[in-house]
């Protein structure tokens, strides 16, 4: 189910007078609109659907037009572009002199915001932003890694290990994942044997004298 971010005020779609933008012409036979990202930059090549039927593509300036709409009727509008949040909204087309403004975020934007929310220890906002990024890009390693960090800060160490285990199956050459898992096993679950295992996995990919010394100390404790 698509995340309905419109009601949260994160994605906005509003009508305003075409007279405020000379690049948009009034028409009695359709609806003109503009699409911008989170930095107020125009988004080109966004596919626009009306009632699930493909109707238009935004141009280099983020502009599009929908022909054949009837005034006084409600429509379901969907805007889609790969690696962007999908925007779905219901409109009442009442005045052909108005235009539609759509704000849609690139996946990287909510990810950057999620990192800041983590630093601010705003767990609810972090979860919301990660879900937004997930809706746009799906199962992406950066998203899952940040979910692991979030679980770590919340003290959910078993969930962190579950997330990291799945990530190591996808990312075979990511030594930081093994080091993170070693830290969890050594300091939070007190499983020295597993800690040594993942420290050695780290050393297979990147030699570090401090990590090697750590392994020797832990082996001595086994």
In the chain, where are the structural domains located?
A: 5-103, 108-221
What the block records as the tokens of 113 is 């915001």
Q: How far is CA 127 from the centre of its chain?
A: 10
Half-sphere exposure of 159 (CA within 13 A, CB side): 13
The DSSP 8-state label assigned to residue 34 in this structure reads E
Task: Measure CA of the first residue to CA of the last residue in the chain; give whole Å.
Answer: 49
pLDDT of residue 173: 87
Return the CATH fold of 108-221: 1.25.40
Length of the chain as a residue count: 222
Q: pTM (2 decimals)?
A: 0.62
Q: What pLDDT, on the 0 to 100 scale, is given for residue 15?
A: 39
Please provide the CATH number assigned to the domain covering 5-103. Answer: 2.60.40.1120
CB 18, CB 98: distance < 8 Å: yes
Q: Write down the pLDDT at residue 98.
A: 82
- In order of 154, 190, 209, the CA distances from 82 in angstroms are 32, 43, 43
Reduced to 3 states, what is the DSSP secondary structure of residue 171? coil
Q: What's the pLDDT score for residue 210?
A: 94
pLDDT tens over the chain, length 222 residues: 333 333 323 333 433 333 334 333 444 457 899 999 888 899 999 999 999 999 999 999 999 999 888 888 899 999 999 888 889 999 988 887 788 999 988 878 888 889 999 999 999 999 999 988 887 765 678 889 999 999 999 999 999 999 999 999 888 889 999 999 999 999 999 999 999 999 999 999 999 999 999 999 998 865
- Could you tell me if 100 and 17 are in contact, meaning their C-beta atoms sit under 8 angstroms apart? no
Here the tokens at position 154 are 């919340």
Q: What is the pLDDT of residue 221?
A: 62
């Amino acid at each position: 189910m698509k995340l309905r971010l419109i009601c949260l005020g994160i994605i906005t779609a509003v009508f305003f007078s075409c007279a405020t933008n000379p690049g948009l012409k009034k028409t009695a036979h359709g609806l003109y609109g503009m699409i911008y990202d989170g930095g107020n930059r125009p988004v080109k090549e966004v596919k626009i659907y009306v009632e699930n039927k493909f109707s238009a593509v935004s141009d280099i300036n983020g502009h599009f037009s929908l022909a054949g709409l009837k005034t006084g009727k409600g429509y379901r509008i969907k805007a889609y572009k790969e690696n962007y949040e999908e925007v779905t909204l219901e409109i009442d087309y009442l005045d052909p002199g108005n235009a539609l403004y759509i704000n849609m975020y690139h996946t990287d934007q909510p990810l950057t915001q999620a990192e800041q929310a983590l630093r601010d220890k705003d767990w609810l906002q972090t979860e919301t932003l990660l879900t937004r990024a997930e809706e746009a890009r799906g199962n992406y390693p950066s998203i899952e890694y940040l979910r692991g960090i979030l679980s770590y800060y919340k003290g959910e160490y078993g969930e962190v290990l579950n997330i990291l285990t799945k990530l190591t199956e996808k990312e075979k050459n990511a030594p930081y994942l093994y080091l993170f898992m070693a830290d969890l096993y050594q300091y939070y679950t007190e499983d020295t044997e597993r800690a040594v295992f993942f420290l050695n996995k780290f050393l297979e990919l990147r030699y570090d004298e401090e990590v090697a010394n750590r392994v020797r100390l832990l082996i001595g404790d086994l």
